[in-house]
């Protein structure tokens, strides 16, 4: 059965008839719509909607994009991503066209439908266990991005994703950044694998918990590094600092809201003279350290030194709305924005 939320004409950003590519809200709305296009591509496949019955195409054609090819999961054959090419008509070009992407690679999140949910949940579990980088879907995603960058250059490519797809884009972006390739990225409701401390209302209690966690994490990291004879002068964030992904989070979404506290806590620790502790703590996770102690490899995706963080403080009716992709192309949002860069 077709959902109203799948139809671009019923729920898409129809107000965005003239995209100004130097407008951050327009860029956000286009990137979110292209991610939604991946969701609907998979729904079209599941419901066998083809030709004029397909609902996905308007999500990209409205903005003058063409679908080059979908990205297919090798386990269940579901469509988890898409590569789009921007092909504006002469009438759609304006003075800001130089800031548009030539290609966008977008990834969807978990779909709660029988055709794909088991594979998506399997990947969600890998994400929680900090092992998403060891999955075949991530290998397909990284190779697709690497091939595109080698062909057209990193400045011509955008990454975009939502929820699990945001984690996939984060992993891909970090992998490329470690090799000196910095891709503009739009990550909607990116998962932060941690206890939802940000939901605690008492600021003193919240800061106390974060402070204790930082001390424990930094101490364990120092001990493990010393035991493993690692060079403590080597900063694993050095290669990532120049990559500044755009993160879009909602404080009512416990899956991603911890990013708010993650960056603000480091600022507070610097202010009280505990920046050295926090610098080490923000580069490690307790889960990852424990896995390392037992000789297991992990990749905590949520640990990044830099971000352009946009918080949607518009009241949400429920968690579903707070975590949904639809919020990010609405025209009447109350947004707060901060730029963080910790090296």
In 94-172, the DSSP E strands lie at 103-107, 157-162
State the Cα–Cα distance between residues 49 and 46, nearest whole angstrom. 8
Which pair of tokens denotes residue 77? Answer: 């054959």
How large is the greatest C-alpha to C-alpha distance in the chain, in angstroms?
A: 63
Within 8 A by CB and 6+ apart from 87, the residues are 64, 65, 66
* Rounded average pLDDT per 10-residue block, the chain, 343 residues: 87 95 97 98 96 97 97 96 93 83 97 89 92 94 97 95 98 94 97 74 66 61 57 62 96 93 77 64 58 59 90 95 97 95 78
Sign of CA dihedral 92, 97, 103, 104: negative
Q: What is the C-alpha R_g of the chain?
A: 20
State the Cα–Cα distance between residues 41 and 57, nearest whole angstrom. 8
Structure confidence at residue 232 (pLDDT): 46
Sign of CA dihedral 259, 324, 47, 40: negative
Neighbours of 228 (CB within 10 A): 9
Regarding the domain delimited by 4-197+238-272+301-340, which CATH topology (the fold level of the hierarchy) does it fall under? Rossmann fold (3.40.50)
For the chain, give every domain's residue range: 4-197+238-272+301-340
Cβ atoms of 287 and 297 within 8 Å: the answer is no
The H-assigned helical ranges of 228-306 are: 258-271, 275-281, 286-293
Q: Decide: residue 271, CB within 10 A, 0-12 exposed, 13-18 middle, 19+ buried.
A: exposed
């Amino acid at each position: 059965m077709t959902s109203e939320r799948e139809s671009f004409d019923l729920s898409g950003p129809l107000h965005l008839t003239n995209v100004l590519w130097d407008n951050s809200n327009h860029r956000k709305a286009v990137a979110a719509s292209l991610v939604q296009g991946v969701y609907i591509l998979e729904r079209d496949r599941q419901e066998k909607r083809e030709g004029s019955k397909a609902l996905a195409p308007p999500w990209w054609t409205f903005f003058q994009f063409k679908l080059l090819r979908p990205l297919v999961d090798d386990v269940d054959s579901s469509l988890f991503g898409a590569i789009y090419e921007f092909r504006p008509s002469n009438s759609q070009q304006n003075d800001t066209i130089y800031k548009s992407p030539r290609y966008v690679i977008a990834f969807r999140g978990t779909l709660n439908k029988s055709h794909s949910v088991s594979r998506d949940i399997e990947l969600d579990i890998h994400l929680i266990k900090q092992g998403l980088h060891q999955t075949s879907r991530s290998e397909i995603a990284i190779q697709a991005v690497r091939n595109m960058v080698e062909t057209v250059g990193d400045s011509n490519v955008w990454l975009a994703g939502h929820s699990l797809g945001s984690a996939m884009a984060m992993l891909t972006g970090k992998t490329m950044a470690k090799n000196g390739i910095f891709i503009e990225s739009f990550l909607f409701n990116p998962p932060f694998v941690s206890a939802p401390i940000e939901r605690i209302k008492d600021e003193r209690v919240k800061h106390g918990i974060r402070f204790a966690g930082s001390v424990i994490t930094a101490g364990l990291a120092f001990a493990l590094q010393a035991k493993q004879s690692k060079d403590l002068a080597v900063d694993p964030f050095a290669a990532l600092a120049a990559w500044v992904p755009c993160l879009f989070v909602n404080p009512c979404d416990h899956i991603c809201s911890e990013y708010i506290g993650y960056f603000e806590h480091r600022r507070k620790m610097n202010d009280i003279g505990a920046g050295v502790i926090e610098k080490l703590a923000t580069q490690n996770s307790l889960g990852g350290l424990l896995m390392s102690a037992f000789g297991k490899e992990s990749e905590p995706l949520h640990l990044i030194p830099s971000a352009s963080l946009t918080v949607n403080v518009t009241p949400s009716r429920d968690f579903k709305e707070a975590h949904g992709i639809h919020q990010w192309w609405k025209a009447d949002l109350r947004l707060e924005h901060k730029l963080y860069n910790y090296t």
